[in-house]
Structure 1
Amino acid sequence: MPKESVKRSGKVDIDGNPVVKQRRTKKEKDPNAPKRPLSAYMYFSQDWRERIKAENPEVSFGEIGRLLGQKWKSLSDEEKKPYEDMAGRDKKRHEAEKAEYDRS
């Protein structure tokens, strides 16, 4: 076994031999596969990120994420609806592209 593909767990088996776990290999992504649909929150984040950065230029990237999360949670269902509609359309797009991709 190549050294790069094993990890020592520090545990030993009954015979006293070290237990060796093999790493899982990542499944290679098909570059032609359709992109996954965005969630309503992701559409909201794209829309609001620049506004939050403009209002709070000194905050870090992580803090911007926290502010976006707080803003999203404070929105009413009516205010979230446009983003949910965009996500729904994107989901339909993905399903259609995925069906076409699976046929080919």
Structure 2
Amino acid sequence: MAPKKVTKKGTEGKKKRAKKDPNAPKKPLSSYMFFAKDKRAEILKKQPTLKSDIGKVGKMIGEEWAKLSSSQKMTYQKKAEQEKIRYQREMSLYNKKK
């Protein structure tokens, strides 16, 4: 194992990630993630053999998302906006408790 380089700030190496608070509210889902959640269940119902091929399912979902018109995407965008509002509300309560 090669010795670690020493810089002015200390040793170079892996940086430690801050631990997440388990009580913190979950981040909001995007409009695409709401769509993917719905479509994934639908695709796996039609083709149960794809259950083990996550990449293929993800690619199919991405292609379908790209084909959607903006008016069809609007329903998922509304869900995402509501989710964002929920997250902001919960974060403000969470930060007050800290």
Q: Same fold (TM over 0.5)?
A: yes
* Aligned-pair Cα RMSD in Å: 1.8
TM-score (norm 1): 0.77
From 73, 77, 81, the equivalent of 2:70 is 77
CA contact 2:4–2:12 (8 Å) conserved in 1 = no
User: What are the superposed Cα offsets for residues 23-77 of structure 1, whole Å, 9 maximum, x if unpaired?
Assistant: 1111011111111000001100111102112333333210000000000010001
Pairwise mapping of residues 4-23 of structure 1 onto structure 2 (< 5 A)? 8=2, 19=5, 21-23=12-14
Question: Percent identity of the aligned residues?
Answer: 33
Number of equivalenced pairs: 90
TM-score (norm 2): 0.82
Q: Gapped runs of 5+ residues in structure 2?
A: 6-10
- 1:84, 1:18 → 2: CA distance? 48
Q: Comparing both structures, which one devotes a greater share of its residues to strand?
A: 1
The equivalent of 1:101 in structure 2 is 94
Please list every run of at least 4 consecutive aligned residues from structure 1 whose deviation after the TM superposition is greater than 4 angstroms. none
Secondary structure, aligned partner of 1:22: coil
Larger Rg: 1
Q: 1:18 to 1:33 in 2, by over 3 A?
A: closer
Q: Comparing both structures, which one devotes a greater share of its residues to helix?
A: 2
Q: Quick one: higher RCO (CA 8 Å, sep 6+), 1 or 2? A: 2
What residue identity is the alignment partner of 1:44?
F
